Chains A and B, each alone.
Chain A
Amino acid sequence: MARVVLDHVTKRFGDVTAVDDLCLEVEDREFLVLLGPSGCGKSTALRMIAGLESLTDGRIAIGDRVVNDVEPKDRDIAMVFQSYALYPHMSVARNIEFPLRSRKVPEDERTPLVQEAARALGLTDLLDRKPAQLSGGQRQRVALARAIVRRPAAFLMDEPLSNLDAKLRVQTRAELIELQRRLDATVIYVTHDQVEAMTMGHRIAIMNDGVLQQVGPPQDVYERPANLFVARFIGAPPMNTIQGSVVVEGGETLLATPGGRIAVPDAFGAAARRSSTGEIVVGVRPEHLEVDPSGPIEARVAVIESLGHERHVVCRIGDEPLVIVRQAADEPRPAEGSSVRLRAEVEGIHLFDAVTGVRLEAPA
């Protein structure tokens, strides 16, 4: 197993910069998730690690070795593709055997390795089938078996679950985590699904427009998003964001929003002063808002979405975009169209620079 280090890696396709000065260290035995919307450069980054794309600039190291000029097959990595990339004309056994056969592993060594990989993924009874005769979940497991059969230094996975149906995805997600722990393997996992990222990764690296936005453990990223992009990308439903400003009146620090003023600790003033233009965006996650008749913010209920165990009260504050309040199912349900007052937990309020989007915090 090995560390993977990306050192100021850049990839340009003509005028388009797909990956821009990416620095990232993936620890040995770490499960790192590269997360971002489609076209953000995460797959390109993965393909550069695999050696399927060349680097425009920078260095990539796997283990102790810089691999910029190393052939993909000599990088000691295995990749799982979104489409599984199984060879349709070969049986399951031949597919799993392929990486060994192409590396000229003698047959008497190959067979037990194939058997072991097949057993690890519950494919023993399917070894003679062709990929076309398998279900999506089974194909996915064959792709995984083909990746683990060689015991590579690192696994690269490019959205391996996105072709599965929702139920199977949840199940396979757990199986993948288990497999990673069992193999003690370094995994770099690309996805656009923030639930996968939150549940699977030791750390998440979030990318947008080719630029790394934030790296950290899922909970940290969730609780202290580095900028507005991360704040809005992580979490379902996403973080509510509205324009605001911090004012000091009569020695009291107040957060002014279109719906009303909220009393906040003095630290907010210090944080807001760091804004480049003085304008700020206030972010609050739906679970940090509650309907409270004595709350400081005035809002009108637009729609209520009930999910069974909880409901989302979608409100409008002034002319701002919609704001979502998460309520437990046993809380009193406001009427659609009615006026309500909202209260935000002070600990759950985030400030961002309105222009740069950067998170604003009081200096420690």
Chain B
Amino acid sequence: MATEVSRGITVSEADRRAAQRRAVRRRIGNVARYTLLTVLAVIVLFPIYITIVNSLLTPSQIAARPPVLFPTDPAWGAYADAWNQGSMSRYLVNSVIVTTLIVAGQIVTATLAAYAFAFLEFPLKRTLFIVFLATLMVPFEVTIITNLTTVVNLGWYNTYAGLAVPFLATGFGAFLLRQAFLGVPGDLRDAAALDGYGHLRFMVRVAVPLARPAMAALAVFSFLGAWNQYLWPLIVTKDARYRTLQIGLRQLRATSIDQVNVTFAGVVIAALPLLILLVIFQKQLVRGLTAGAVKG
């Protein structure tokens, strides 16, 4: 009897030690993971940080070696200079207009196309979808000349239309939203049909609300793309009335060559809307990208 008991205790002792070892291993794993993530985060965040710091220094401080990593006496004047000298306000307005048009346009066209691919039956559906996907493989640079010719022929050179219209539809958006719509159960469509909901009402009232994470992801991606455009706005506009922020930055750098801090301030101004957007939509962004990867 006694041996039985003592044997029992030995076994549980071994179990306990094994559990302890597992816990230690888990903790070491966590430390390693977080160390790696911290290093990566620093790599990503440092350029942003140093940009902000430099925008608050004087040009001579920026040129100083070793570099100043913390502004003890921040000089905010660079922001006013960038805003006024570089007519950043005009560029900012243009960027907001063009980006809004593009984001709204892409969401509308992608929603309609994706809904058709997900819920409607029509001839050549598969083929058309593959054609949509194939457009993802055509780099923008390849189409630049034809697009420019078209825009000029339409009389849209140096207009908001010329800036926005070529980007109102994307294969990527249609693909992303189609995957989200495919996750909407067919029974919901049937139930709605029994209650007299046509495709348009079903799309607006049921499918779109259910695809919200993917919609948010698409909004963020198209915002990023539109906001950061440089080449197209440069060639399709000729004066400051329609030029966007990224071109404005370039000009700011050219005009304030002796005031690097002003350029840095301009960069911060240009990046601020993006940063705010990313913070707000971070969650949806991640969820939208992995949506459809795993069912459930």
On whether the two chains bind one another, the answer is: yes
Give A contacts to B, CB under 8 Å: 47, 50-52, 71-74, 77-79, 81-85, 87-89, 98-99, 102-103
Cα–Cα distance between A74 and B185 once the two chains are bound (Å): 23
- Are A85 and B195 in contact, CB atoms less than 8 angstroms apart? no
Contacts of A50 in B (CB 8 A): 190, 194
A81-B187, A85-B187 given as contacts; is B209 within 8 A of A73 (CB)?
Answer: no
- Are B190 and A79 in contact, CB atoms less than 8 angstroms apart? yes
Chain A residue with minimal CB distance to B190? Answer: A52
Task: Give chain A nearest CB distance to B291 CB in angstroms.
Answer: 14
Contacts of B192 in A (CB 8 A): 102
- Are A73 and B193 in contact, CB atoms less than 8 angstroms apart? yes
Chief secondary structure at chain B's binding surface: helix
- Are A72 and B193 in contact, CB atoms less than 8 angstroms apart? yes
Cα–Cα distance between A98 and B195 once the two chains are bound (Å): 8
Give B contacts to A, CB under 8 Å: 185, 187-188, 190-197, 201, 206, 209-210
Cα–Cα distance between A51 and B197 once the two chains are bound (Å): 13
A sample of 10 cross-chain residue pairs with beta-carbon separation below 8 angstroms, ordered by A number, consists of A71-B196, A72-B193, A79-B190, A81-B190, A85-B190, A85-B191, A87-B206, A89-B209, A102-B201, A103-B195
Contacts of A102 in B (CB 8 A): 192, 195-197, 201
- Are A85 and B196 in contact, CB atoms less than 8 angstroms apart? no
Chain B residue with minimal CB distance to A100? Answer: B195
Chain A residue with minimal CB distance to B201? Answer: A102
Contacts of A78 in B (CB 8 A): 194
Task: Give chain A nearest CB distance to B202 CB in angstroms.
Answer: 10
- Are B188 and A103 in contact, CB atoms less than 8 angstroms apart? no
Chain B residue with minimal CB distance to A98? Answer: B195
Cα–Cα distance between A85 and B184 once the two chains are bound (Å): 10
Task: Give chain A nearest CB distance to B289 CB in angstroms.
Answer: 21
* Contacting residue for A77 out of B185, B194, B210, CB 8 A: B194
- Are B197 and A83 in contact, CB atoms less than 8 angstroms apart? no
Contacts of B193 in A (CB 8 A): 51-52, 72-73
Contacts beyond the supplied A50-B194, A85-B191, A99-B195: 13 A-B pairs with Cβ under 8 Å: A47-B190, A51-B193, A73-B195, A73-B196, A79-B190, A81-B187, A81-B191, A82-B187, A83-B187, A85-B185, A87-B188, A88-B210, A102-B192
Contacts of A84 in B (CB 8 A): 187
Task: Give chain B nearest CB distance to A4 CB in angstroms.
Answer: 15
- Are B188 and A85 in contact, CB atoms less than 8 angstroms apart? yes
- Are A52 and B196 in contact, CB atoms less than 8 angstroms apart? no
Cα–Cα distance between A73 and B191 once the two chains are bound (Å): 10
* Contacting residue for B185 out of A51, A72, A83, A89, CB 8 A: A83
Cα–Cα distance between A95 and B259 once the two chains are bound (Å): 62
Cα–Cα distance between A74 and B194 once the two chains are bound (Å): 8
Cα–Cα distance between A7 and B2 once the two chains are bound (Å): 83
Q: Which of B192, B194, B197, B206 has the most CB of A within 10 A?
A: B194
Contacts of B209 in A (CB 8 A): 89
Cα–Cα distance between A79 and B189 once the two chains are bound (Å): 12
Contacts of A88 in B (CB 8 A): 210
